[in-house]
Chain A
Amino acid sequence: MARLVKRRVNARPRRRAGILARQAGRRPGPVDPHRRVFLRLHVNGADHTIAVAPHRTLLEILREDLGLTGTKHGCELGECGTCTVLLDGIPVLSCLALGLECDDRPVVTVEGLADGPTPHPLQEAFTELGAAQCGYCTPGILCAAKALLEADPDPNRDAIREALSGNLCRCTGYIKIFEAVELAAKRRREPRAAPSRETLFGRRD
């Protein structure tokens, strides 16, 4: 029984009638699983054309083909959020995005947040307030927070909590992260704004 099951599991994909029909020239067919295809990606403002196999995820392409290892791989099943990138300006999980589905669409990763040598206000605030401990969740949180601030320049705590609810952090307890996002939002209005007393001293008085 066990052997029977194993054989089914390891069987190579069978050739199907559809593929034969396509070879006869009836209709353009799917990309062959074992062949690479060219993919155009716009990552952080730069254009790349790379050859990828159809089953590669955006996360694998970013990290392995483009060397952009700022985007982290965590659970790879859509549960932890550390692989979050901005696709068309919207935060999505790159572990669950097929590379070929991102053809010709702008992608922004954590490497693309800074403006040359100047860090993004969110990055400044995270550093200043120590909103990271191990830092593994930080790239995903920065991308999700950037999208939030672009949609809502002055989010309240609940809005931040909700926007980051798909990004797990097992170190900080989130408070410092929320405070850093609030500080970054405040600095968009007043560039010299200081962290609140509660953030610095743990109490308001």
Chain B
Amino acid sequence: MMRLPPCGYIAPATLAEATAILRDEGPEAAILAGGTDLLAKMKRRQQRPSTLVGLRRVVGLRGVRGGPRSGLRIGAMTTLAELERHEAVRAHYPGLHQALRSIATPLLRNAGTIGGNLCLDTRCNYYDQSFEWRRAINFCMKCDGDVCWVAPGSDVCLAVASSDAAPVLCAFGARLVLAGPRGERTIEAKDLYRRDGIRFLAKDPAEILAAVLLPPAGRLRSSYSKLRRRGSFDFPVLGVAACLRFDRDVVADARLWLTAVSMAPVQAEEAERALVGRPLTGASIDEAAECAWARAKPVDNTDFTVRWRKEMTRHHVRQALGALTSSVRFA
């Protein structure tokens, strides 16, 4: 049996209590939401928290409030399965719905939470391995070692952002509520991430992601396209999230985010500019795909070859944007 390393456990009943415990325990404590990522990593000794702070009993962290007109407030402990089944998400935020359905398997989505997915650990071929495997290469800088095996000259860990929900929420311009020992603050979803595979979350260890605020659906149209090896169950090797607002036929506002090509979700701004101010046509989509291709800079640390992954950016941008219009022909 693969055992968890011994650790303490506490299940506070309020957010204030939880943040106070996290502050007292220091960075060695870990927040336990669904446990589907953290517990597996603990078994492989990639993480060894001294104490797990379970959020299961904290009141008010679970469930979805609001509607497509006013925007949704999604509690961070809402499971991915609950969110996937939510009528407003399915009907008005299709990009998020598609991303949720592509996460892991139904069994894992029954336990995994939206907050946990947004705070998902970054992944790398040299890190997501058993303890014995990692010891054989004398570990890497993300855990127990001091060198990056992907790029030994790199000062920074290059592990990739692998959340499917994160690029979609960035594209929606969603906001996140962080509860800390000194009260709550609200940040843009994109500001949660840093381009550093080790310290990939721009939040204090004592802060807890409490809720996700989705903007009113309005005339937003969204989609998500994901590249992975197995269609049923895999982390993204590339994810493209698109969110467009139309003014009649013309694209008034465009947001295009890529995931799994860097340590944080990446905004393809040039591609967005190529879309805005004109109807969504095959030509504009091709132009955006070209810009996004230039923006994607994967490194050799996940499945598939780097060149092919970069090449597939064009295809998946076309797929994500093509899904937003029914009458587009490609050049």
Contact = CB atoms under 8 A, between A and B. Distances in A.
Interface string B42-54: 0111001011111
A108 interface: no
Contacts of B10: 28-31
A16 B7 contact: no
A interface, size bucket:
35 or more
B3 interface: yes
A158 B7 CA distance: 41
A17 to B, nearest CB: 7
A54 B107 contact: no
Contacts of A31: 8-10
Interface majority SS on B: helix, strand, loop or mixed? Answer: mixed
A2 B1 contact: no
Contacts of A53: 6
B278 interface: no
B105 A16 contact: no
Contacts of A163: 106
A13 interface: yes
Given A13-B50, A76-B43, A167-B107, A18 B4 contact: no
B40 interface: yes
Interface string B82-115: 0000000000000000000000111110110000
Residue among B24, B35, B108 facing the most chain A CB atoms (10 A cut-off): B24
B138 A166 contact: no
Nearest to A75: B2
Interface size of B as a range: 35 or more
Contacts of B106: 91, 144, 162-163, 165-166
B262 interface: no
A1 to B, nearest CB: 7
B226 to A, nearest CB: 15
A34 interface: yes
A106 to B, nearest CB: 15
Interface string A180-197: 000000000000000000
A166 B138 CA distance: 33
Given A5-B139, A21-B24, A31-B10, A96 B40 contact: yes
25 contacts: A5-B139, A13-B28, A18-B21, A29-B10, A29-B21, A31-B10, A33-B6, A34-B6, A54-B8, A55-B9, A76-B43, A78-B36, A78-B104, A78-B108, A81-B107, A96-B108, A96-B111, A97-B35, A98-B4, A100-B54, A101-B11, A101-B35, A101-B56, A166-B105, A166-B106
Interface of B: 1-11, 17, 20-21, 24-26, 28-29, 32, 35-36, 39-40, 43-45, 48, 50-54, 56, 81, 104-108, 110-111, 135, 138-139, 144-145, 232-233
